[in-house]
Structure 1
Amino acid sequence: MFKKLREVSGKTSLATKIFIGLGAGILAGIIFGEGMLPYEFIGKIWVNLIKMILIPLILFAVISSITSQKDTSSLGRLGLKAMVYFGLTTIVASVIGILLSYLLKPGKGFDLMVSEGAAIELPDDLTVESFFMNLVSSNMFQSFSEGNMIQVIVIAILLGIAALKIEDVQKRDSVLSWFNYMTELIFSFVWMVIRLSPIGVFFLMAGSIGQYGPELLGSFSKLIGTFYLGILAQIFLVYGIVVWFSAKVSPLRFVKDSSALWLFTISTTSSVASIPVNLDVAKNKFKLKERISNFIIPLGSQINHDGNAILLSCIVVFTSQATGVDLTFFTLIKLVLLGTLISSGGGGIPGSGIIKVMIVVEAFGLPIEIGAMAAAFYRLFDMGITTANCMGDLAGAVMIDKTEKVEAEEVPVSQ
C-alpha cells in the first residue's frame, strides 16, 4: 500500500522537498507581494486533487483496518482507547492555552474597538440529540457528496463490522480482497499527487504571504506568539511524554521523524488532506501496524482538535484582558469544558474554526469582534492548529500500537 509513497519520501526526501517549496514560497511572497496572488490557484488545484480522493481513501482505509482486526472486541478496545486519549489531550490543550495566556498576558495594552449592536447568529442545533443524530447518515451518497467525514467514518465502521459478520468464509474473503485492491488503487493515486507537494506548497505559501505581507502579525503578534508557544508545549511536552512512556521515543526524535507530516500540515492546513502522509509516517518511520494506524489516524482527524482547544482558550483570555473583564476560577473551568466540547465539533463545516471562536467568545459574554479579527489571521492560526491535531493523531496511534503489542504478549498461549 505504501510502497510508492515510501519511494517518494525516501529517507527524508519528501520532507526536504516540501521544506524547499515552503521556504521558496515565503521568499516569493515577500519579494513579489500581491503579484503572487493570481498564481495561488495552482496550489489550490493541488489541494483539490487530494481532497477529491479523500472520501474513498478514508472509507477503504477504515474498512480495511476494521476487517484486519481479530474480532469486534478488539475493535471496541481500540475505539475506547482512542476516545479516552483524544479527550484527555484536548482537556490538557485547553489548560495549556489558559495558563500561557495568563502568564504572557497577550491582551494587555491591546486596543479593542467594540462596535455597538454587534451580534452573531449562532447555530441552533448544538444539542446532544443533534450531535448523535448527525453521526448516522440517512443517505450515504449524500454524506459522500457533502464531504461529511464523521458520517463517512461511521459508515466505514458499520460496513467493516458487517464484512466481519459474513458467515460464508469464501464470500467474506472475496469481499475483503476487493476492499484491499481498491485501497491499493487509491494509494497509487495519492502517490501521484504527493509527488507534486513541493509545487503545491510553493504557490500556497507565496499567495498567503503575498496577500498579508510582513504586517500580517501587527497588533496580534502577542496573541499569535502565545498560541504557538501553546502548540509547541502540546507537541513536545504532551505528545512527547506520550510517545516517550509508551514507545521509548524521545520528543526530539518524534518531531524529527514526523517532519514530513508537520511540513505538510503547515503548508496545507488540512488535517484530512494530511491523512495519507500521516499514515505513511506511521508505517515507515514508527513501524506501526496498519490495522491500528489506519483506524486511529482517520478517526483522530475528525474527533481530535487539540489545536482548536488551545486557540479557543487563548482568544477568550486575550479578549477578557483586552476588555478588562476578569474571569473567575469557575469560569475558567467552564472554558476548559466548553472549549473541549466545541473544538471537537464542526468537522466538515467550511470556516468552522472561526465559527467556534465566535461561539465560545459569545458564550462568555465577551465582544465577538475578536472573532471577526481572528478571521483575517486564521490562516496563521490554522497552520498551528492542523499541525497539533495531526501530531496528536500520530502520537495516539504510536501509544495505542504499543499498548496493543503488550496486550497481545500477555494473552495466554491456550487462547
Structure 2
Amino acid sequence: MKIAGKKISLTTQIFLAMILGAILGLIIGEPMTKLGFIGNIWLNCIKMIVVPMVIVTIITGITSQKDVKSLGRISARIMSYYILTTLVACAVGLAVALLIKPGTMANFTGLASKEITGSADITIADFFMGMFSSNMFKTFSDGNILQTLIISVLVGIAILRMKNEAFKETVINGFNALSEMVFSLIGMVMIVSPIGVFFLMAESFGKYGAGIFTSMATLAGTYYLACLAHIVLIYGGVLWFTSGINPIRFLKDSAELWIYTISTCSSVASIPVNMKVAKEKFDVPESISSFTVPLGSQMNYDGSVILYGCVIVFISQVVGVPINIGVMLKVIFLSAILSTGGGGIPGSGIVKLLVMVEAFGLPTEIVGIIAAFYRLFDMGTTTLNCLGDLAGTVFVSKMEEKFAGKNKAKVTGA
C-alpha cells in the first residue's frame, strides 16, 4: 500500500485496519459480525502452520547452539526469568487491584453471564502427564503445542548428540531448509494481515458495541493499569539494568508486536512477529529467539496471572470478603502453577479463571459475566504474555553477549 508515493509499513497498515475495523463495528453493529469469518479464515491460515513452525524453530534453535552445555545455560536463564516474572506478575495484579478497589465501584446491572463449559479439574499431575506425548503424530494432528514443543526439544538434543558428523550436518541442513520454507509461507499470510485484522476487530466491536468499553470498565481499567505497571517496572526494569534499554524504547520498538497481539489475541500466531521484532529491533540472534519465544508461548503467562489476581480481589470486594496476606500468597503460587496447565483445553483462559475463583470459595457468576466480555481481557493477556516472551528473549541475548565477552577476555588475557 502506498500514499503519495510512500510505501506504508505493514505495522501501520495493521494499526489502521484495527482502528477502522473498530469504528465500522461500532457504527454498523451486528451486520459486521456476519463478516467475521473472513478474519477467522486469515487466523486459521496462520494457525495451520503453527505446529510445523514450532517444530522447525525449536529444532533449528537447539541445533544452532555450539553444544548441549550452551543450550543448558540458555534454558536455565530463560526458564528462571519466566518463573520469577510470573510470580511477580500476580503480586502486581493483587497490589494494583487492592489499591484501586474496583469491586467497590462495580455495577452489574444489565449484564448477562455466559455459561462456561470445560473441565475445571486441572491438577499438577495432569499437567506434567500432558506434557509428554504417547503418539507424536496424534500430537501434531491435535495441534497440542506443549507436547509438540517437548518433542521438538528432544529431537533437537538427539541431533546434537549424533556421532556421525556427516549425518548430523545433513539433518541440520534439512531442518534449516524446512524453516526457510515455513517462514516463506508465513510471509505470504502476513501480507494480507491488515484484511484479517480489520474483520476481526469489526466483528468484536459489532458484537459488543460501546458496551465493550463501559460494562466491565472498573475491572478492565484496573487490569490494564496493572499490565502497564508490569511492563514498565518489571520488564522495563530488567532490561534497563541488564541491557541499558529503557521502558519507553522497549514499548516503542515492540510496537509491531503489541499492535499485532491486540488485534489477533493469539500467542502462537504471534511467534513469527515476536522473533522478527527481536531480531530487527533488539539484534537478538535467531539461535536464541527461535528457542526462547516458542518456549515462552507455552510457559510464560504473565498477562493471565495478573488477570487472576485482579479478578480474585475484584470479586472479593464485590461480595465483601477480606483478603489477608495468607490468601494473597496462595493466589500467587496457585496462579503460577495453574497458568501453565490446561494446554489444549478450548477456552482454557476462562476455565482456569473459574478454577481460581472456585479454589477460594468465591461466587462464580461474575466469572460468567467476564466470559461474555473475555475478548476485551484477552487482548491484554495475549499482549503481555508476548511482551514478556520478547523481554525475556532480549534479556537472555544480552546475558549471552556478556558471557561471550568474558570468555573472549579470558582467552585474550591468557
Normalising by structure 1, report the TM-score. 0.93
Partners of 2:300 and 2:233 in 1: CA distance:
17
- Matched residue, 1:64: 60
Determine the C-alpha separation between the residues in 2 that align with 1:18 and 1:156: 32
Counterpart position of 1:171: 167
Instruction: Confirm whether residue 137 of structure 1 aligns to residue 133 of structure 2.
Output: yes
Pick the aligned partner of 1:293 from 289, 311, 325: 289
Question: What is the number of equivalent residue pairs in this alignment?
Answer: 403
Question: Does structure 1 residue 384 correspond to structure 2 residue 359?
Answer: no
Q: Residue 33 of structure 1 corresponds to which residue in structure 2?
A: 29
Name 1:368's counterpart in structure 2: 364
Shift of 1:109: 4.2
Structure 2 SS opposite 1:209: helix
Structure 2 letter corresponding to 1:97? G
Segment of structure 1 superposing worse, 104-113 or 228-237:
104-113
CA apart distance, 1:35: 1.4
Partner residue, 1:6? none
Instruction: Name the residue aligned to 2:411.
Output: 413
Distance 2:105 2:274 in 1: 40
Q: SS state of the match for residue 81, structure 2? A: helix
Identity %: 49
- 1:274 maps to 270
Counterparts of 1:112 and 1:38 in 2: how far apart (Å)? 28
- The aligned amino acid for 2:205 is I
Match for residue 181 of structure 2? 185
Higher mean C-alpha displacement, 378-387 vs 247-256? 247-256
User: Which of 316, 319, 324 is equivalent to 1:323?
Assistant: 319
Contact 1:112 1:323 in 2 (8 A): no
Contiguous gaps of at least 5 residues in structure 1: 1-9
- The 2-side partners of 1:383 and 1:11 are apart by 28
Displacement after TM superposition at 1:409 (Å): 1.7
Whole-angstrom CA distance in 2 between matches of 1:159 and 1:377: 40
For 1:76-95, list aligned pairs within 5 A: 76-95=72-91
1:290 counterpart letter in structure 2: E
Distance (whole Å) between structure 1 residues aligned to residue 209 and residue 162 of structure 2:
58
The 8 Å contact of residues 58 and 291 in structure 2, kept in 1 or not, is answered as: yes
CA distance in structure 1 between the partners assigned to 2:277 and 2:300 by the alignment: 18
- Compare 386-395 and 142-151 and name the one that shifted more: 142-151
Distance in 1 (CA, whole Å) between partners of 2:295 and 2:156 is 14
| Equivalent residue number for residue 235 of structure 2 | 239
- Who is 2:3 aligned against? none
AA at the equivalent of 1:375 = A
Between the aligned partners of 2:236 and 2:29, the Cα distance in structure 1 is 38
- Cα distance, 1:341 vs. partner? 1.2
| SS of equivalent residue, structure 1 residue 413 | helix
- SS of match in other structure, 1:365: coil
User: What TM-score, normalized to structure 2?
Assistant: 0.94
- Are 2:116 and 2:371, in contact at CA under 8 Å, matched by a contact in 1? no
Query: Residue 14 in 1 paired to residue 10 in 2?
Result: yes
User: Are the counterparts in 1 of residues 61 and 291 from structure 2 also a CA contact under 8 Å?
Assistant: yes
How many angstroms apart in 1 are the aligned matches of 2:31 and 2:123? 46
Distance (whole Å) between structure 2 residues aligned to residue 191 and residue 199 of structure 1: 15
For 1:345, what is the secondary structure of its paired residue? Answer: coil
Matched, 1:103 2:99: yes
Structure 2 unaligned segments of length 5 or more: list them: 1-5
Higher deviation after alignment, 325-334 or 404-413: 404-413
Q: Secondary structure at the match of 1:108?
A: helix
Q: Name the Cα RMSD after superposition.
A: 2.1
Report if the CA contact (8 A) 2:136-2:151 is conserved: yes
Show the counterpart of 1:357. 353
1:342 corresponding residue in structure 2: 338
